[in-house]
Structures are given as C-alpha cells and as structure tokens.
Structure 1
Amino acid sequence: MNSYIALLRAVNVGGTGKMPMSDLKDLFRRAGFPGARTYIASGNVVFTSREPEARIKAALEEALGAYAGKPVGVLVRTASEMAEVVSGNPFPGSSPSRTVAIFLDGPPPPDALERVTGRADEETRLGRREIYVHYGDGMGRSRLKIPAAAAGTARNINTVTRLAEMASEPG
C-alpha cells in the first residue's frame, strides 16, 4: 500500500464553497480510497492505494467531474515525492508562507522561466514536476504569470510540508 497526496485544482471545498470536506472524503471512499484524510479546506487529500498514479488520477478526475458537473484537475504525488518537493525547495531561507510549489502533471518545459511575465521581486526555479516561486512582497500584489503553470495548482511550503508529514504518518 502506497501513501499518496491528491491536490485538487480550482475547487473551493471550504465554508460556502461547492464541496464540503465531508463530501470530499466521501467521494474518495466511493472512488475506492477509504480512509482519506483532508488538510485545510483547499483540496488536499492524503490517502493510501495499491493503484498506480495514472489510475488514481483518472478515477478521481472522473468522480470529481461527475460531482462538479465540469472537469476538475487532480495532481497526485506519492509521500516520497512530496518529501522531495519539501527538501528540494530552492528558497529554504525564505518565508514558507511566501514560497509556493506549483504542481504540474509532468516536468516543466526547459524554457518555462524564460516565458514568465509580470515579474517584480519574485524568484522562480524549476523542480522535477514543480515550479517553485518565492513572492518577496507576497502574492497579493504580484502580477507574475507563468504560462507553463496554467494547468498546475500551487501550495505554499507550509502546506506542502504538512502534507508530506501526514503522508508519512500511519493512517
């Protein structure tokens, strides 16, 4: 049994959002992933499965699409991959709340950072299947656009670290 993290893209699961956390856990159970645990109301789920990543992604995207009535992107990482994202953070001395990993389905294109627009004080680096961004003045005023990240989903390093910890804990 492998421990996985699912990161939902563009789904509001909190408060007045369209998908309460209890519904999200139930959806995972019905999709064949019992024991799913959520972390903060922003589409983060830790669970276990014997299935490979591609099969998990397809099953979850189908279930979420049926629930939402529209396509919902899901990015999946193993516990060890999530730990590598934490250890690979190229901005370890920077505020983890101002540093994000943008998760992608595959490796970012080699020219991904050359195509960035709207850069002010943000720093960017490529990861294995992530793009890291440190927002020096915070994300609120940033005009940064990263075309290679359009289908990705971002989580700050605090969240990534906690998800890696949860995935390494016994369910």
Structure 2
Amino acid sequence: MRYVALLRGINVNPATAVAMADLRALLERLGYGNARTHLRSGNALFTAGGDADSIAAAIERGLREELGLSVAVMVRTAEQLRRVVERNPLEVRDPARFAVVFLSRPPDREGLASIDPAAYAPEEMRVGERELYVHFPDGLRRPKLPPLLEKHSTGPATMRNWNTVTRLLALAEDLGEISG
C-alpha cells in the first residue's frame, strides 16, 4: 500500500534538522519500499504493509533512536489523502493561503464548535475526518486561528498548504506498489 508520512516541525530550526537523504534511509531500514521525500519540511512517501498508526509509531521510534529527535508523525494512505482532497469543504481561492491541518486523532468537534468564528475572522475553518481545513486570507505571518486550534487539540498535528497536499497526492498515486 502507498503511504504519506507528514513529520511535524522538521527543519524549522537547527535542533530539528534532518537531511531528507537520512529520512529516506531510515524509511528503507524500517523495511518500507520506494521511499522518497518532497520538500525539506518532512514529507515522505513510501510503500509498506500494515496500518498507518503502527507505521507512524515505527517512524517516530526510528527518528528518536537513530536521529535523536522526538517528532510527531502523521501517516495517511494514498486513498485517505485522496479523500482529504475530495472532501475539502472550502473554496481554495489561493492555494498558498489555504492549508490542511493533519491530526493524529479525530478532532474535538465539540471544542472546535465552541470557537466563535468572529474570534478568527477573516480566517475560515472547517472540520474534516482527521483534519482541519483552514483559509488564511491575510497569509500565515500572524494568523489568529492556529493558537485557538492548539487549545482544542486532542493530540499532535501538522499543517501543509494546499499546493503541498495536492502535490503529495499526485506523488503518492504515482508511487510503485510493494514488490515481492
């Protein structure tokens, strides 16, 4: 099966620096095939057997044991990523100002529903299955919504802009199947 791993907070400062070649090598040592990366922000694609949660735990353990990094990893199958794109409830006016927040667990729908949209206007948010769709019309320099989302978070999360999400989907769908 084809998977996408989204690492939280990679290469945002020297303490979280990871060469993408090292990440690919780690994935290969874990037994995953066709390992490749996209951008330097911790996006990896590969083929594997097993379930996404077990794979995420194995990658987190490998990063900790081999690279000394404590990094949250969200893993989705190519099909799950396809559903994220197809079920987007908001209009994508500018892909660079539109993002998907990938959650490690289902969202706290009740807590998120309690957030007054006026508190973060003109930003917009909609809740998905295990993701949040967010529009930042004023850009990501000083957004209001992420701190509110963290307050109602049920676990680790990582955000990718729409350009990256759709590119990762295209790459995952082109990835070869498991051989042997």
TM-score (norm 2): 0.85
Structure richer in helix, relative to its length? 2
In the alignment, what sits opposite 1:103?
102
The residue identity in structure 1 corresponding to 2:24 is K
- Farther-moved stretch of structure 1 (45-54 vs 90-99): 90-99
The unaligned stretches of length 5 or more in structure 1 are: none
**DSSP 3-state at the match of 1:23:** helix
Alpha-carbon distance in structure 2 between the residues aligned to 1:35 and 1:23: 14
1:13 is displaced (CA, Å) by: 7.6
What does 1:159-170 align with in structure 2 at a 5 Å threshold?
159-170=164-175
Question: 1:72 maps to which residue?
Answer: 71
Q: Percent identity?
A: 41
- How many Å separate the matches in 1 of 2:128 and 2:59? 25
Alignment of 1:124-135 (within 5 A): 124-135=125-136
Contact 2:46-2:175 at 8 Å conserved across structures? no
> Do the aligned partners of 1:13 and 1:41 also contact (CA within 8 Å) in 2?
no
Root mean square deviation of aligned Cα? 2.2
Q: 2:144 maps to what in 1?
A: 143
Partner residue, 2:123: 122
1:157 to 143, 150, 162: 162
Deviation at 1:14, TM superposition (A): 9.4
Structure 1 counterpart of 2:73, which letter? V
The range that moved more, 89-98 or 42-51, is: 89-98
**What is aligned with 2:81?**
82
Code of the aligned partner of 1:55: S
Deviates more, 1:92-101 or 1:36-45: 92-101
Determine the structure 2 residue equivalent to 1:50. 49
In the TM superposition, what is the alpha-carbon distance from 1:116 to its structure 2 partner?
Answer: 4.3
Aligned to 1:86, what secondary structure does the other structure show? Answer: helix
The total of aligned residue pairs comes to 170
